[in-house]
Chain A
């Protein structure tokens, strides 16, 4: 299935993974994956290794879009509010924003555990999403 963006996440038999980079010199993790040099201002690392980021984390915060977001988002018809969660990935010290599949804001709490999945945008291509941790 087409991905809405190439190189930011992968889907295989082991599940859905965000693809980030890890600096070989200082260990700084980035999402989305980064080219060139490490964002740590005290690190001169240029060897940024593509890495699968932890699939689970805890909700840093969450919200929703009660009105259809403007283009280039393609809203489903009829529109159902898009739920968004910012999730602090286990052990990576990084918070990643994504749509939430199968949960509304009433079912979310800060600190709740979520895991990565994927789901289609209204016009078809897949994007990473968060769902209730199994």
Chain B
């Protein structure tokens, strides 16, 4: 029924402020009052102790206690998607009519770090301690693998950034609003070979919120411009997961059981297609997690836009840029927003909704009908959302 965001940047204020601003914007957009909301779900930030770990209650308290039902959920970068999944499922079960889903974060400077303390039983802590493997190391591994398998080049990666920066320059919610050239990307400092600073998404402050409702409730309230959340797939990998994944030290072994036909990232998208009863050919646009430029190319293949190894060609043909057949990350993507972990999957839904309602202004995709967003978090969390008109 409604979407709202707080502009992304590095504002240095508490995450609650961004979340509340986004929630209020979503409520205004839906034309309902906070006191109408029956169920509130917060996507959790990582902050030691209260209130980061119990974001649902934090937002409810900040907006004013109303006695609404509540949930908080943590799934790393997929937190927002799982928060949406919880709210949608509860609505579909008939347990409530209208829910507010909120995610926001304020990030420290530099690489994401594990939760503090001396915790040698935590793989996320251990990967830093033993290997120095921050998140970009994993993105670098995927990128280098892609180069070896498919012949992708740093120029291809830079072309993704150029495309997304152009889209982001047209989005008032984006943190980076300046178009960039391939030369600038290729001249930026190397971070995790072969990825450079401008290939990797920054850490940001930001917030996003949506109001979800049953169709009958929305119609009763006279809501127009409805967008349907037709699928939320939240799947785990199928054993053996043979792609090294954050924050693991090793893959599963395929010695006893062969690798599944569909790798994890592709399974995320296909479960959503199946639930919504659509396929890749139906997409008018998609938002995918471009944690790195190279990863966007992987996602294009994983969501079925082209066979493995052909994303570079599709990108170069202009089909995935604004004005192309199926724009990818028309919001500007994480390249233009940066990561505000609990907010980003919700922000993807905000973009899908804005596009399907035809309200995206200069970055509007012409007459979209069906759109997909895909995300992935630590430890085998991943979701895809499909929205339709």
Residues of A within 8 A of B (CB): 4-5, 23, 26-32, 39-43, 60-73, 75, 82, 84, 86, 91-99, 105, 109-111, 121, 127
Given contacts A39-B239, A60-B244, contact A67 B191 (CB under 8 A): yes
For B241, give the chain A residue with the smallest CB separation.
Answer: A39
The majority secondary structure among interface residues of chain A is loop
- The digit string for B235-251, where 1 denotes a CB below 8 A from any CB of A, is 00001101010001111
Cβ-defined partner of B192 (8 Å) among A26, A63, A111: A63
Q: How far is the CA of A66 from the CA of B134 in the complex (A)?
A: 11
Q: How far is the CA of A105 from the CA of B143 in the complex (A)?
A: 13
CB pair B251 A94 closer than 8 Å: yes
CB pair B192 A97 closer than 8 Å: no
Given contacts A69-B133, A73-B129, A93-B240, contact A63 B251 (CB under 8 A): no
Residues of B within 8 A of A (CB): 110-111, 113-114, 118, 120, 125-134, 136-137, 140-145, 148-149, 189-195, 239-240, 242, 244, 248-257
Number of A-B contacts (CB under 8 A): 146
Q: How close is A124's CB to chain B, nearest CB, in angstroms?
A: 13
Given contacts A64-B192, A72-B128, A111-B148, contact A94 B113 (CB under 8 A): no
Q: With a CB–CB cut-off of 8 A, which chain A residues contact B194?
A: 63
CB pair B113 A95 closer than 8 Å: no
For B139, give the chain A residue with the smallest CB separation.
Answer: A63
Q: With a CB–CB cut-off of 8 A, which chain B residues contact A42?
A: 257
CB pair A61 B142 closer than 8 Å: yes
Q: How far is the CA of A5 from the CA of B129 in the complex (A)?
A: 10
Given contacts A41-B239, A62-B141, A63-B193, contact A28 B255 (CB under 8 A): yes
CB pair B255 A63 closer than 8 Å: no
CB pair B141 A65 closer than 8 Å: no
Q: With a CB–CB cut-off of 8 A, which chain A residues contact B111?
A: 67, 69-70
Q: With a CB–CB cut-off of 8 A, which chain B residues contact A127?
A: 130-131
Q: How far is the CA of A127 from the CA of B132 in the complex (A)?
A: 12
Q: How close is A94's CB to chain B, nearest CB, in angstroms?
A: 4
For B127, give the chain A residue with the smallest CB separation.
Answer: A97
For A60, give the chain B residue with the smallest CB separation.
Answer: B145
Q: With a CB–CB cut-off of 8 A, which chain A residues contact B144?
A: 61-63, 110
Cβ-defined partner of A5 (8 Å) among B130, B136, B149, B191: B130
CB pair B255 A27 closer than 8 Å: yes
Q: How close is B329's CB to chain A, nearest CB, in angstroms?
A: 23
Q: How far is the CA of A71 from the CA of B132 in the complex (A)?
A: 8
Cβ-defined partner of B250 (8 Å) among A32, A41, A66, A105: A32
**Shortest 10 CB-CB contacts between residues of A and residues of B:** A63-B140, A69-B132, A110-B148, A93-B254, A61-B145, A93-B255, A73-B132, A94-B253, A29-B253, A72-B129
CB pair A94 B255 closer than 8 Å: yes
> Of B110, B132, B248, B257, which is in contact with the most chain A CB atoms at under 10 Å from its CB?
B132
Q: How close is B121's CB to chain A, nearest CB, in angstroms?
A: 10
CB pair A64 B140 closer than 8 Å: yes
Q: With a CB–CB cut-off of 8 A, which chain A residues contact B142?
A: 61
Q: How far is the CA of A71 from the CA of B248 in the complex (A)?
A: 18
Q: How far is the CA of A41 from the CA of B238 in the complex (A)?
A: 9
CB pair B256 A40 closer than 8 Å: yes
Given contacts A70-B113, A82-B132, A99-B131, contact A28 B193 (CB under 8 A): no
Q: How close is A110's CB to chain B, nearest CB, in angstroms?
A: 4
Q: With a CB–CB cut-off of 8 A, which chain B residues contact A82?
A: 131-132
Q: How close is B262's CB to chain A, nearest CB, in angstroms?
A: 16
Cβ-defined partner of A4 (8 Å) among B130, B136, B143: B130
